[in-house]
Amino acid sequence: MKLTFLLAAALAAFGVSASAAPKDKAPALAAARPVGVAGPGTTDWRTPDPNDVLVIDTNKGRIVVEMIPEAAPQHVTQIRALAHESFYDGLRFFRVIDKFMDQTGDPQNNGVGGSSKPNIPPEFTFRRGSDLGFVMAADQTVAEIGFLKSLPVESQSMMLGAMTKDQKVTAWSLYCQGVMGMARDEDPGSGNSQFFLMRYPYPSLERKYTAWGRVISGLDVVRAIKTGEPVEAPQDFMQHVRVLADIPEAERPKIRVIDPKGPWFKAQIERVRAAKGADFTACDVDIPVEVK
């Protein structure tokens, strides 16, 4: 079965073209601290579960991804299992479009291959309960925008939860810079092993492609991958893709990420909202991270 991102068809369906991708440079995931603003305190940080962190070592440098099983549990399970098997080691970035995304994860390195594992049902949306850990960045009355760990998320207003059987509402990931999406063909349930890393925001993908994580370190590497559709040889590639928990302790990077539930991050959201005004989006909010 053909497992390709079908870029032209997808963008045509969204009413845009590849050249219509955002032209303004999006903010990096870890920007410099604003002048005069105190840095995060000890309690403002969290340590992500090492089973939910993917370390992608490429020929251009290291990319660290936080997987979000709360948003796409079956996709995270599949990615994690493939990483355990070293499936991704040596695979190339075969379709890379500037201002858009990097695609990889195909053993044939051309967009038509996949793993021997079954395809995954789509997880374009997920159910959000009051206990999920969602942190609101903007209340739009009928919708709420915020963060689930490092993942930017939009959902129905939680007020609607009182009218649903499970007391939850529908939520979906926002395709900001750094978000990880699952490639597929025209069949929504054809995701298997191929995935893409967002170089810049692209909201037209929301609720049409499953988002399963976000780059928390190495967005500069994502943007340094050689572009092309397809990419001409030599192609950039993933040397090793490992779950953090699988890396020997002596070699394992120490990672901590800003906790969206902490006071510093909530204040940072307000600072960005005040600066951006009506143009504010969740993609404008940086997620500070430390990797040692």
Domains and CATH numbers, the chain: 7-17+49-246+256-291 (2.40.100.10)
Which segments of 128-262 does DSSP mark as H helices, in order? 219-224
Nearest-angstrom CA–CA distance, 251 and 272: 36
**Contacts (Cβ under 8 Å, ≥6 apart) of 62:** 55, 56, 217, 218, 221
Structure tokens at 51: 């089973």
Three-state SS for 9? helix
Residue 261 is encoded by which pair of tokens? 């539930």
Alpha-carbon span 133 to 115, nearest angstrom: 33
The tens place of each residue's pLDDT in the chain, 292 residues long, gives: 334 544 444 444 333 333 334 444 443 344 444 555 788 999 999 999 999 999 999 999 999 999 999 999 999 999 999 999 999 999 999 999 999 999 999 999 999 999 999 999 999 999 999 999 999 999 988 999 999 999 999 999 999 999 999 999 999 999 999 999 999 999 999 999 999 999 999 999 999 999 999 999 999 999 999 999 999 999 999 999 999 999 999 999 999 999 999 999 999 999 999 999 999 999 999 999 999 9
Strand order from edge to edge, sheet including 179-182: 95-97, 101-104, 195-198, 179-182, 211-217, 61-67, 53-58, 238-243
The CA–CA distances, whole Å, from 92 to 88, 118, 164, 222, 231 equal 9, 22, 44, 13, 9
Any idea what DSSP says for residue 252?
Answer: P
Task: Check residue 275 and give its pLDDT.
Answer: 96
Please give the single-letter amino acid code of residue 217: S
Facing residues of 103 across strands?
A: 95, 196
pTM, rounded to two decimals = 0.89
The span from the CA of 92 to the CA of 56, in Å, is 12
Helices (H), 62-105: 73-84
Identify the pLDDT of residue 38.
Answer: 81
Extract the tokens encoding 98. 């500037």
Helix (H, G, I), strand (E, B) or coil at 54: strand
Place of tokens 């796409």: 72
